[in-house]
Structure formats: C-alpha cells, structure tokens
Structure 1
Amino acid sequence: MKSFLIFIVKIVLITVLLAVVLDYSYTAVYLNSKSRDKVSDVFKSKARSYDVVILGSSRANNHFVTRIFEKNGLKTFNYGMSGGHLYEASLLLKLMIERNYEIKTLILEADLNLSNDKQSEGVAAKFLPYIHRSEIIKNHFEQELNFNELYYIPFYRYLKFDSKIGSRELFNTIIQKKTVATENGGYYALGVNKKGNMKNNIVSLNPLKRNKYYEEIKQLCKANNIHFIPIMTPMCENVIGMNYFEKVKSTYPEIHNYENVVIENKYFSSCGHMNDNGARKFTSIIVRDFFKK
C-alpha cells in the first residue's frame, strides 16, 4: 500500500511539473514570436499614434475600410475582431492605453453586441497566454467564474482553449505562418459574389439597459481625451426585427444609427455583413459625415 501511494504521489508530481514546463514553454513562444492576431499585435506594441482606431466585432472588421480613411489623411487601424464582443473590445482598448497609444478618435461598432455583456470565449482566449504578464488582462478576467482555474492551474488555459491557443496555434506561431489579421490596416474584405445567409431574425434581441463594457469604453475615452464615435452599422433589407436599432437609439441616444444607409442585398455578403463594395460605400459615408465637416 505504501509503495502504491508513493507511486501515485510521483505521478501527481510529474504531471504538475510537466504542466508547469508546458505552460512556461507555450507562454514563452507567444511572448517572443511574431504576432499572428490583433491581440498579440497590441500586447507587444508600444506608443503608437492613430487619428482613428476602430473597435468592434466582425461588423467592424468587415465594414470599415482602412484605406479610405488613410486616403483622407487619417492614420487608421481597424481592430475589429470577428466573433468578438464588447468585453474584448474594452480589454483591447485598456491595453492600448497602457501602452501609451495616442488615439484622437475611436469608432466603436455598437449595435448587436449591446444585447450582452459576456465574453466571447474564442476571442477572449487570445488574451490568455499573457494573463500572468499583464495586470490589465488579469483584472479584466477576475470576475469570470473560471478565473481561478485559468490563472492558477498551470497549462489549464491552453488545454481548455486548445483550438485557439493550443498545439496547432503554437506550431503556426513557431513557423511564423502568415495570417491576414493585421494586413490592409486590419480591414477584412468579404467577397462581392459570395453569398451567405441572406435572412436574419433579430426580433427577440434587446439591448441591455446598461452594458458594462460599452460604458467602460465610453469612460476610457473620456478619461483619455479620445473623441468617441459609437456607430450602428448596416444590415441587409431582409432582416426581421429592425426595430432593434430603434431600441438601441432609445437606450443609448448618443449612438449614431447608420443601419439603413446601405440596405440593398447586392452590397451584402450575408445579412449582417457587407461585402467589399458595401463596406466602401458605407465607409465613404462615415468619413464624409464625421471627418469632412
């Protein structure tokens, strides 16, 4: 019995030691390798200066054409992240401020994601390799129910989010496999002739009366003298429940409603995402209305 207990203890110790070594190794790779996504790009940066920074979900990533801002003399980067919520947008802005970014104007895509204040696990996972290297990231995650496991159990976060920061992503990071995340000023164009789901029903969607992370972003901008422009972006003409945007305007009157400036299906790749032609038309309107007065 004694020898069996000793064997079990040895197995436990070896497992813990292996987890610690793997955790350290994975983290070291992410810390010291070339950035493959927008989170690592910001985390590893210092004191950048922008006239315009764009934050939001895929409806920011696919809708704001960086080059159109640039052609109008505005140094711009689109930090919209597909699948992201305001939870991740707020954290990304905190990191930018910590790294002494000089941002004149922040455009926030604020519409559908006002209906929740939860994290998007797949996008939030991109911050986790750095959770022991950043108090900003640690503090942002502290209110999550699984924070203790993520923070204190070595290698747990890499196992739990294997599809995002696990072995495959580690390998791609090591070999510096190219991504398009930070190309084209962060803007990702969707195909003009490719059609996804061209029907959408948002009848049951309601904005929260107070979205914690929207309020965080607004206050961060105020505290750091950043001109804050929250915008609702377009959806296709087939959407059922478009009064959602009226609800947003009623709850958050400062948000600019641009959901109906582009509506024809020919400008959309799916009902919630404009194609490149639609994005260019939309971006030109935004530049005209906010930067050419």
Structure 2
Amino acid sequence: MKKFLLYIVKIFIVVALIAVFLDGLYTYIFMHSKNRGKIESVVNSDAQNYDLVILGSSRANNHFVPQMFQDKGIKTFNYGISGGHLFEASLMLKLMIERKYEIKNVILEADLNLSNDKQSEGVSAKFLPFIHNSEVVKKHFKEEKDFNELYYIPFYRYIKYDSKIGFREMFKIVKNEETNAMDNLGFYPLKKHKNGNMKNNIVNLNPLPHNKYYEEIKAICQKNKINFIAIMTPMCENVVGMNYFDKVKKAYPEIHNYENAVIENKYFSSCGHMTDDGARKFSAIILKDFFKK
C-alpha cells in the first residue's frame, strides 16, 4: 500500500511539473505574439499615441472606418472585437493605459451590449495567457467565479479554452501565421449578401441601469483626460423593438443616438451590421459631428 501511494505521489509530481512547463512554454509564446489579433498586439506593444481609439463589439469593428479619420489627420485605430462585450472593451482600454498609451479621444460603441455585464468567453479567453504577466488582466478577472482555477492551476486555462488559446493557436503563432485582424487599421469591411439576416427582434432587450464596464470605461477616460464619446450605431429598417435605444438614452443620456443615421437595407450586410458602403456613410457623419475643424 505504501509503494502504491508513493507511486501515485510520483505520478502527481510528474504531471504537475509537466503542467508547469507547458504553462510556461505557452505563455512565453503568447508573450511574443503581435500579429495574430488586437489583444496581443496591445499586450505586447510599447507606448503608442492615438488621436482616436475605437472600442466595442463587431458593431464597432464593422461600422467605423479608421482610414477616413486618418485622411483628416486624426491618427486612429479600430480596436472593436467581433463577439466582444463591454467586459473586454474595458479591459482593452485598461491595458492601453497600463502600457502608457497616449489617447486623445475614445469612441465606444455602446448600445446592445449595455444589456449585460458578462464576459464573452470566446473573446475574454484570449486575455488569459497574460493573466500572470499583467496586473490589469489579473484584477479584471478576479471577480469571475473560476478565477482561482484559471490563476493558480498551471495550464488549466489553456486546456479549458483549447479552441481559443490551445495548441493550434500556439502553433500558428510559432509559424508566424498572420490574421486579417490588424488590416485596414482594425476595420473589417462587410459586403452585401443576398442571404443576410435582415430581420432582428430586440423587444425583450433592456439596458442595465448601471453597467459596470461602461462606467469603468467612462471613469478611465475621465481620469486620463481622454475625450469620451459613447455612440449607439445604426440598425436596419426592419428591426422590431427599436425603442430599446430610447431606453438606453433614458438610462445613459450622454450616449449619442445614431441608430437611425443609416437605415436603408442596401447599406446593411445583416440587420445589425453595415456594409463597407454603410460604414463609410456613417463614419462621414461621425467625422462631421465630432471632428470637424
């Protein structure tokens, strides 16, 4: 029995050592990744200077054309992330401040995601390789229910989120395989598709009266003297429940409502996402309203 227990202990020690080694190896590789996505490009960057940073979900990623701002002499990058929530947008801004970015203006796409203050696991997982190397990342996840497992168990986060930060992603980093996330200054243009979903029902959607991560972003901007511009972006003319945007305006009167700035279906790839033409039409409006000289 004693030999059996000793054998089990040895196996446990070997497994633990392997987990520690793999954790260190994966983390080292992620800490040297800069061309796979927006998150690691910020984490592994030096201090940057921007006149304008754009944050939000796909409705930021697909709706603001940074080159149009650049053409007006406004140094811009679109850090909107498809599938992201305000949880991730707040963390992105915190990381920029941690890395000493100088930012004059932040545009935050703040509309549908005001209805929740949860993380988007598919996106938030991409921050986890850096949880031991960034105090900001550690603190941001500290209130999440699985924080202890993610932080203290070696290699656990890479196993749990294997599809996002597992072997395949690590291998692509080693191969220096790029994605299109950083193309077009972060903007992802969409095309018109005949099978695009041009119907949407948001009747049951309600903004939280106090969205923690929206308030965090606003407070960070105030503390760092960044001009904060919160914007509700357009949806197509077929949406049911458009009074959601009135609810947002009532709860957050400082948010600028542009949900009907572009409404014709020809400018939309799907009901919640504009085509490249729609994005350019919308970006021209934002330029005129907030950045005219």
> Which interval holds the TM-score relative to the shorter structure?
over 0.9
Alignment of 1:20-169 (within 5 A): 20-169=20-169
* Cα distance in 1 between the residues matched to 2:111 and 2:15: 46
Q: Give the partner amino acid of 1:141.
A: F
- Equivalent residue letter for 1:179: T
Q: How does 1:181-220 map to 2 (within 5 A)?
A: 181-193=181-193, 195-220=195-220
Unaligned runs of 5+ in 1: none
Q: Which amino acid aligns with 2:161?
A: F
Greater mean deviation of Cα atoms: 254-263 or 93-102: 93-102
Contact preservation (8 Å) 1:90, 1:217: yes
Secondary structure of 2:31's aligned partner: helix
Letter in structure 1 aligned against 2:151: Y
How far has the Cα of 1:195 moved from its partner?
Answer: 4.0
Question: What SS does the aligned partner of 2:8 have?
Answer: helix
Tell me which residue corresponds to 2:178.
178
SS of the aligned residue for 1:107 comes to: strand
**What amino acid does structure 1 have at the position aligned with 2:120?**
S
Shift of 1:194: 5.4
The answer as to whether partners of 1:195 and 1:269 remain within 8 angstroms in 2 is: no
TM-score of the aligned structures, taking structure 1 as reference length? 0.98
Q: How many residues align?
A: 293
AA aligned opposite 2:45:
S
1:268 aligns with 2:241: no
Aligned-residue offset at 1:252: 0.3
Q: Distance in 1 between matches of 2:33 and 2:136?
A: 21
1:196 to partner: Cα distance: 2.3
* Matched ranges for 1:236-255 at <5 A: 236-255=236-255
Aligned residues of 1:59 and 1:273 also touching (Cα < 8 A): yes
Structure 2 residue runs of 5 or longer lacking an equivalent are none
User: Secondary structure of 2:198's match?
Assistant: coil
Please tell me the root mean square deviation across aligned C-alpha atoms, in Å: 1.0
- TM-superposed CA distance for 1:5, in Å, is 1.3
Question: Could you report, residue by residue, the CA deviation over 1:68-127 in whole angstroms, capped at 9, with x for unpaired residues?
Answer: 111111100000000001011111101111111111110000000000011111111111
User: What whole-Å deviation, never above 9, does each CA across 1:152-205 have from its counterpart, x for those lacking one?
Assistant: 000000001111100110111110111011111000011134542111110000
What CA distance in whole angstroms lies between the structure 1 residues aligned with 2:91 and 2:286? Answer: 25
SS in 2 for 1:32: coil
Q: Are 1:66 and 1:76, in contact at CA under 8 Å, matched by a contact in 2?
A: yes
Identity %: 68
SS in 2 for 1:51: strand
Give distance in 2, aligned partners of 1:150 and 1:140.
13
Shift of 1:34: 3.5
Which stretch of the first structure deviates more once superposed, 186-195 or 255-264?
A: 186-195
* Letter of the 1:203 counterpart: V
Give the Cα–Cα distance (whole angstroms) in 2 for the partners of residues 204 and 192 of structure 1: 28
Distance (Å, rounded) in 1 between the aligned partners of 2:227 and 2:9:
58
Preserved CA contact (<8 Å) 2:114 2:207:
yes
- CA offsets, 1:11-70, max 9 Å, x none? 111111111111011001111233311110011112211111000000000000111111
Q: What residue identity is the alignment partner of 2:30? A: Y
Paired residues of 1:34 and 1:176 also in contact (CA < 8 A)? no
Distance in 2 (alpha carbons) for counterparts of 1:94 and 1:82: 19
The equivalent residue for 2:281 is 281
1:290 aligns with 2:275: no
When normalised by structure 2's length, the TM-score is: 0.98
